[in-house]
Amino acid sequence: MKHYTLITHRGSFVTLPSSTSFENIQKLVGGYVAYVRHPKQISGQMAVNEDGIMLRLPSNIIASVIAGEPLLGDVVLIQTKKQYEKLAPQDVLNPVVNTLKEVSSNV
């Protein structure tokens, strides 16, 4: 069973149904899908918009930190149940996201 987490470019985490289809992932990332394999911080793979640079999608700082490389737009993290139970992205990154949101709102 797969576990899907949408990581929006605004820093939100949305748990998706385990029945999420490839077509749904395409809609979520806004176009053709490219995969980033073996994110450095969390096991799994990430689905991104293949044309993110050409479309000038906004930076996704949280997904970039997880992947260890710059990513653009909304991203879907795909993990096995075992990978997710070992380390869910929001467990690690929610404190970071909350701090970034607080700092940016004070600027």
Strand, helix or coil for residue 77: strand
Structure pTM? Answer: 0.80
pLDDT tens digits, 13-68: 899 999 999 999 999 999 999 999 766 667 789 999 999 999 999 999 888 888 87
Helix (H) or strand (E) holding 25: helix 22-29
Confidence bin at 5 (pLDDT 50/70/90)? very high
Between strands 45-49 and 33-37, the pairing is: antiparallel
Confidence bin at 95 (pLDDT 50/70/90)? low
pLDDT number for residue 40: 61
